[in-house]
Amino acid sequence: MDVKKPASQENLNGDESESQISHLALDIGGSLIKVVYFLRSNGSGGSVDDSGKKSDPVLEGRLHFAKFETSKINDCLEFIRSKNLHLAGFRHHDASASDKTLIKATGGGAYKFADLIKEKLGVVLDKEDEMDCLVTGANFLLKAVHQEAFTYVDGQKEFVQIDQNDLYPYLLVNIGSGVSMIKVDGDGKFERISGTSVGGGTFWGLGRLLTNCKSFDELLELSHQGNNRVIDMLVGDIYGGSEYSKIGLTSTNIASSFGKAISDNKELKDYKPEDVARSLLRMISNNIGQISYLNALRFGLKRIFFAGFFIRGHAYTMDTISVAVSFWSKGDAKAMFLRHEGFLGALGAFVSYENHGLGGLKTHQSVQQFAVSKTYAGKKICCLVNEDLNDNESIDFGVAFAA
Amino acid sequence: MPSMHRSGSRPQLDLSKAAIQGNFEVKNPTILLPNQSDDISHLALDIGGSLIKLVYFSRHEDQSIDDKRKKTIKERLGISNGNRRSYPILGGRLHFVKFETTKISECLDFIHSKQLHRGGIHATGGGAYKFADLFKERLGVSLDKEDEMDCLVAGANFLLKAIRHEAFTHMEGQKEFVQIDTNDLFPYLLVNIGSGVSMIKVDGDGKFERVSGTNVGGGTYWGLGRLLTKCKSFDELLELSQRGDNRDHRHIGLSASTIASSFGKTISDKKELADYRPEDISLSLLRMISYNIGQISYLNALRFGLKRIFFGGFFIRGHAYTMDTISFAVQFWSKGEAQAMFLRHEGFLGALGAFMSYEKHGLDDLMVHQLVERFPMGAPYTGGRIHGPPLGDLNEKISWMEKFVLKGTEITAPVPMAPSGTTGLGGFEVPLSKGSTLRSDASALNVGVLHLVPTLEVFPLLADPKMYEPNTIDLADRSELEYWFTVLSEHLPDLVDKAVASEGGTDDAKRRGDAFARAFSAHLARLMEEPAAYGKLGLANLLELREECLREFQFLDAYRSIKQRENEASLAVLPDLLVELDSMSKETRLLMLIEGVLAANIFDWGSRACVDLYHKGTIIEIYRMSRNKMQRPWRVDDFDAFKERMLGSGDNKPRPHKRALLFVDNSGADVVLGMLPLARELLRRGTEVVLVANSLPALNDITAMELPDIVAEAAKHCDILRRAAEAGGLLVDAMINTLDGSKENSPSVPLMVVENGCGSPCIDLRQVSSELAAAAKNADLIILEGMGRALHTNFNARFKCEALKLAMVKNQRLAEKLIKGNIYDCVCRYEPAR
């Protein structure tokens, strides 16, 4: 990763020789803490780009991503300390403001854990608006990272090349506990236009009550093995197996989620938790897909990107949402996902360093020329949560610090 | 199996079949036919996943044509005898019944017991396929399957066009009926919430498209709810939700952020399912689903630019919280631009639509004014809940009422009986606070029986029929409602006494009297709890409900003997009064006549104050006392303007009116000593007079059936009345002793009697008899007399012709409210032609 660093920004890391690190940003959510940090590559410095034009000095380095469960925040703090990441913030612009190091953070936990972090790491969290970070992160990824967005159809991931000049406006659907739908018109230009309370929290909450699963992932895993037809009332169940094509429904369409639980004399314990989980997942994904599509339609948005912990790279949730969007749009629209979807907030917080104290840090177009390479950080850092491909990769890229 | 719906052209129903099956339907008096058995039925079903909805039509024979008065009035008014044939439909009733689909056997028994399947069965809903064989096997008929969506739309269109107070909004517990201009109905979004949800864009009759839907619907609520709470029925689950903890979400109010995540709390808690109250789960579930439906519906309405969203389907069930939540969602997401509306017959759209699919139901041409909705007790058609076998006859109905009273609220009542604290007969306590409890069974009696009365018409002299509102008192005002309920309750024991006496005071009569009192008290309690339960509630509706309730328990004329006695007493003194009047000058006489009308209007059994008076003196004494009290100016006194119009001033001699419609009120002195002399004066001036009286008894009001005899009796002593009555065809067969044979040959303008089409002490001029409508065509003066027709209703009505409203106010509160006066104040309001 190249970071062009203007000479005037001498104070970026205090003593640069002491650390390779440039930045650290956190997104502390209700269930996960997402960490984004930048490590400089050795031997980089001011350079001249390919065109031969004299340019600003560039720092090359690598963006790393890591996740921890919020309940294990101490592991996270230990991880930061062990890597000295907390020294990577920036000193307050006003030199007189003691030696406080500010770390960019977002998410509800940025408030909740501020004191703990101050105590343990001696750094102050600089809180960034969640929605701002989300959008900034998404914009950054969609513009800066090649092959970031993809569709997911019938289990097949297909990367979508997005023309940067034709990116806006788009709909960003962030599925956390609840769901936020954000219309994004440009950098820093966005509006929350809708949402729904039926989101990941509903899946996990209802799912917990219905299945006694101990974790979200366990529930998701269960759902993968289930058959929703056992509990859902399908169009065919109502119409005696005949299709109701006149209104564009087929016998296998779900007419009523959990509708079969009405007529059966079965109780909860008579149903397999797998089937219950699957019905639940389909219900919620379908609903989010529908409301998202209707909102995209309403504002004439061509693209819908889904993100948030509900997705978390889980094939099955992506699949159901894709099916829903395709169904409701009659094939006109396709759901898209982001490879780094879990890190939008943290990335946004990271990028927001540009806006503070560094005199207009700016992502240059040139970053695109840097290919993405993946490293499997998970292999190295055992305390990180799950080993998913997406989670622990790092991206090489350059950030230009323009004066 | 006769297939009557396939043969012939309009009129639709094959009369020849009527006699074959005999009386399979109960006697159930209606406004058209007090003692007539129901005739041929049409049946339509909507067999859904959880409920079976039935709509069936029972025809009623037209009223007997032997009525002498009717025959002559038809000739007089130029209504040809064949005219009735041209009516597109025959009178009858539409009944609405529900059964749980799991209890389909009960449903089949019901159909069989009433032989409703004789005319074939039109069916819609998924079950029409699933249960086709069962119907074939049990009833021997094949179901004619109708497309579900077609039916929904046809049903909704029919309701929105034909029923005046069908659509309403429901915000924060408040129901408000919305008057829909039928010319501006389309396009709209119809959201039908059954097991799943269908969203249909409706552009016109038969023109619609299913634009969207959601699989998160009633089945989801019930299915998930069952798994999470172990409830045994949908209603039980719904009821649970009422006790759910709503504190955190004061009103669903809540900015949307209040519920960031439905069921999201259960993530972090360490609790298990067993640790949560089923009530809270049910409520959360209900809120999640209702809110979601509201949101998706709005987005779809927006997408197609639809102004109105109507929500129907069994999920709603009149449940206040559900409606509030949906309304809130629509309002929230539309930022107040859109409003959710609901339909009173919400569960019956499909069944009604299937019914419409009968080729010759004739309902297409039905107009709003030809439908009268009634809410009888104890019948199985009351929506929402199923309770036992259908009540076959009056006796069963009474038994049921008795049993109900014994067991209290254990029996599921079609009318939720008054909550504890309600005393059966007189009076009841007001529910603590409205809206503090959420009702789950609010729809229990929201759906009545629709009476199709093709002969009803809009009164043609209304200045602006669209703006016309009959009720003067708006019972949406809680204090008004409480007041009138108290008045009616206090009057009830006396009414029961009269009713029982009118039937000879037998044990049977007493039993029916008790049942009536209980039934009517239950209606009152029900309305007290939810004033809009039966549609928009006005005083006129309440008073009519009481009369209908009496008729339901076969008290056909509770005041029969009283009316007779008073008529005789009044007729005895009429000759003296006429002599007295004839000795006066025109000016004095006119004043005396109007004064007489106002004075005689004191005889009103509907007024508590007057009932007390009755116990104190004879009719004539009261009349004289009342007259002596008449001191002008009256509280509302337009007499001079009226006199000017009648007699002119100076050289100005105004032309007499061509025809006057006199809406009469009470029997006895009121009509005999008040209105008849006034009619006589008009006749004398060469004005045709049409006496307009009730079709059916209401309190001591005179009826159109009774009037001809009274006129004939009066005519014995008055030549003017005699000749006019003869000219009007009222004395065709009567043996009259003429007082003065020498004037036999001089022609007279006619005196006629027409029925008004009502059986209530008030009159809604949007629904009057065809003969009144015909009589109105040449009329240039309307005289409305009495509290019911001139004050409670029509006080603010405006007419195309001149109108005179005469009444004595026999109620202190009304006097204060309406004319800022006191009890026994008089109203003489004259309104020139518009």
Q: What pLDDT, in 10s, does the model give residues B116-142?
A: 888 889 999 888 888 999 999 999 999
pLDDT score recorded for residue B621: 72
A:264-293 residues touching chain B, CB 8 A cutoff? 267-268, 271, 276, 283, 286-287, 290-291
Count of alpha carbons within 13 angstroms of residue B444, beta-carbon side = 22
User: Does position B780 have pLDDT exceeding 70, yes or no?
Assistant: yes
User: Does position B466 have pLDDT exceeding 90, yes or no?
Assistant: no
- Residues in B closer than 8 angstroms to A112, CB to CB, are none
Check CB contact under 8 Å for B195 and A328: no
Selecting from A202, A231, A238 the residue whose C-beta is nearest the C-beta of B262 gives: A202
Model pLDDT for residues A124-141, shown as the tens digit of each residue: 888 989 889 999 999 988
Encode B339-376: b = buried (16+ Cβ within 10 Å), e = exposed.
bbbbbbbbbbbbbbbbbbbbebbbbeebbebbbbbbbb
Selecting from B147, B220, B295 the residue whose C-beta is nearest the C-beta of A257 gives: B220
Q: Quick one: closest CA in B to A282, which residue?
A: B215
User: Does position A97 have pLDDT exceeding 90, yes or no?
Assistant: no
Question: Among A228, A262, A309, A310, which would you mutate to test the B interface (most chain B Cβ atoms within 10 Å of its Cβ)?
Answer: A262
User: Does position A116 have pLDDT exceeding 50, yes or no?
Assistant: yes
**Closest-CA residue to B32 (of B718, B528, B776, B769):** B769
pLDDT band at B60 (very low <50, low <70, confident <90, very high): low
DSSP class of residue A148 equals -
Ordered domains of chain B (ranges, CATH): 1-163+348-392+413-455 (no CATH), 167-343 (3.30.420.40), 576-831 (3.40.50.10880)
Give me the mean pLDDT over the A360-376 stretch: 33
Higher pLDDT, B808 or B89: B808
Enumerate residues 6+ apart whose C-beta is below 8 A from A264.
Answer: A270
pLDDT > 70: what percent of chain B?
Answer: 75
Check CB contact under 8 Å for A294 and B300: yes
Rounded CA separation A105/A125 (Å): 6
Rounded CA separation A166/B442 (Å): 54
Question: Among A228, A278, A284, A290, which would you mutate to test the B interface (most chain B Cβ atoms within 10 Å of its Cβ)?
Answer: A290
Selecting from B126, B227, B267 the residue whose C-beta is nearest the C-beta of A261 gives: B227
| Amino acid identity, position B340 | A
Q: Do A135 and A184 form a contact (C-beta atoms < 8 A)?
A: yes
Min Cα distance A256 → chain B (Å) is 4
- Residues in B closer than 8 angstroms to A283, CB to CB, are 215-216, 220
Partnered with residue A38 across adjacent β-strands are A63
Check CB contact under 8 Å for A262 and B49: yes
Model pLDDT for residues B505-542, shown as the tens digit of each residue: 999 999 889 888 888 888 888 788 778 878 888 888 88
Burial class for B816, CB neighbours closer than 10 Å (0-12, 13-18, 19+): middle
ipTM: 0.78
User: Does position A256 have pLDDT exceeding 90, yes or no?
Assistant: no
Counted across chains A and B, CB pairs separated by less than 8 A come out at: 186
Q: Is B304 on the interface with A (CB under 8 A)?
A: no
Higher pLDDT, B788 or B430: B788
Mean pLDDT of chain B: 78
- Residues in A closer than 8 angstroms to B268, CB to CB, are 30
Q: Which helix (H) or strand (E) holds B405?
A: helix B394-407
The full 3-state SS of B587-634, as one line of letters, equals HHHHHHHHHHHHHHCCCCCCCHHHHHHHCCCCHHHHHHHHHHHCCCCC
pLDDT score recorded for residue B100: 79
Give me the mean pLDDT over the B195-211 stretch: 92
User: Does position B295 have pLDDT exceeding 50, yes or no?
Assistant: yes
Q: Quick one: closest CA in A to B195, which residue?
A: A256
Model pLDDT for residues A279-307, shown as the tens digit of each residue: 999 999 999 999 999 999 999 998 999 98
Q: Do B536 and B165 form a contact (C-beta atoms < 8 A)?
A: yes
Selecting from B50, B129, B194 the residue whose C-beta is nearest the C-beta of A239 gives: B129
The pTM for the full model equals: 0.75
pLDDT band at B69 (very low <50, low <70, confident <90, very high): low
B:239-258 residues touching chain A, CB 8 A cutoff? 256
Q: Quick one: closest CA in A to B271, which residue?
A: A209
Question: Among A198, A271, A275, A279, which would you mutate to test the B interface (most chain B Cβ atoms within 10 Å of its Cβ)?
Answer: A198
pLDDT band at B88 (very low <50, low <70, confident <90, very high): very low
Question: Among B199, B216, B287, B333, which would you mutate to test the A interface (most chain A Cβ atoms within 10 Å of its Cβ)?
Answer: B216
DSSP of B276-320 = S-HHHHHHHHHHHHHHHHHHHHHHHHHHTT-SEEEEESTTTTT-H
Q: Do A196 and B292 form a contact (C-beta atoms < 8 A)?
A: yes
A:313-332 residues touching chain B, CB 8 A cutoff? 328
pLDDT score recorded for residue B381: 33
Enumerate residues 6+ apart whose C-beta is below 8 A from A16.
Answer: none
pLDDT score recorded for residue B101: 82
Q: Quick one: closest CA in B to A267, which residue?
A: B227
Give me the mean pLDDT over the B709-718 stretch: 92
Instruction: Quickly count helices (H) and strands (E) in chain B.
Output: 26, 21
Min Cα distance A116 → chain B (Å) is 20
Q: Quick one: closest CA in A to B332, which residue?
A: A194
Mean pLDDT of chain A: 74
Rounded CA separation B199/B185 (Å): 17
Check CB contact under 8 Å for A198 and B222: no
Give me the mean pLDDT over the B256-266 stretch: 60
pLDDT score recorded for residue B87: 39
- Residues in B closer than 8 angstroms to A210, CB to CB, are 227-228, 273
The Cα diameter of chain A in Å comes to: 78
Model pLDDT for residues B15-43, shown as the tens digit of each residue: 222 222 222 232 222 222 222 234 456 89
pLDDT score recorded for residue B74: 67
DSSP class of residue B791 equals I
| Amino acid identity, position B669 | A
Model pLDDT for residues A23-82, shown as the tens digit of each residue: 789 999 877 898 988 877 654 444 444 444 444 445 567 788 888 888 889 999 998 888
**Cα end-to-end distance, chain A, whole Å:** 19
pLDDT score recorded for residue B769: 92
Min Cα distance A237 → chain B (Å) is 8
Give me the mean pLDDT over the B746-750 stretch: 80
From residue B65, how far is each of A153, B69, B71, B92, B729 by CA, in Å? 74, 10, 7, 17, 16
- Residues in B closer than 8 angstroms to A273, CB to CB, are none
Q: Is B206 on the interface with A (CB under 8 A)?
A: no
Give me the mean pLDDT over the B565-578 stretch: 88
The CB density around residue A166, as the number of other CB atoms within 10 Å, is: 9
E strands, B27-166, are: 38-47, 51-60, 92-100, 121-124, 143-145
The torsion defined by the Cα of A225, A230, A232 and A237, in degrees rounded to 10, comes to 140
Selecting from A178, A198, A262 the residue whose C-beta is nearest the C-beta of B219 gives: A262
Min Cα distance A294 → chain B (Å) is 6
The CB density around residue A76, as the number of other CB atoms within 10 Å, is: 25
Q: Which helix (H) or strand (E) holds A181?
A: strand A179-186
Rounded CA separation A28/A346 (Å): 8
- Residues in B closer than 8 angstroms to A259, CB to CB, are 49, 195-196, 215, 217, 219-220, 222-223
Check CB contact under 8 Å for B264 and A259: no
Min Cα distance A10 → chain B (Å) is 44
Give me the mean pLDDT over the B262-272 stretch: 67
The CB density around residue A58, as the number of other CB atoms within 10 Å, is: 23
Check CB contact under 8 Å for A240 and B220: no
DSSP of B466-527 = TT---BSSBTTSHHHHHHHHHHHHHHHHHHHHHHHHHTTT-HHHHHHHHHHHHHHHHHHHHH
**Of the ranges A308-317, A391-400, B552-561, which is most confident?**
B552-561
Mean pLDDT is lowest, of A269-283, B3-17, B639-653, for B3-17
User: Does position A146 have pLDDT exceeding 70, yes or no?
Assistant: yes
Partnered with residue B58 across adjacent β-strands are B41, B93
Min Cα distance B149 → chain A (Å) is 9
pLDDT score recorded for residue A247: 61
Min Cα distance B265 → chain A (Å) is 7
Enumerate residues 6+ apart whose C-beta is below 8 A from B560.
Answer: B502, B697
Look at residue B824 and give its three-state secondary structure.
Answer: coil
User: Does position A229 have pLDDT exceeding 90, yes or no?
Assistant: no
pLDDT score recorded for residue B251: 32
Enumerate residues 6+ apart whose C-beta is below 8 A from A248.
Answer: A330, B210
A:191-230 residues touching chain B, CB 8 A cutoff? 194-202, 204-206, 208-210, 212
pLDDT score recorded for residue B819: 92
From residue B679, how far is each of B673, B712, B782 by CA, in Å? 11, 14, 12
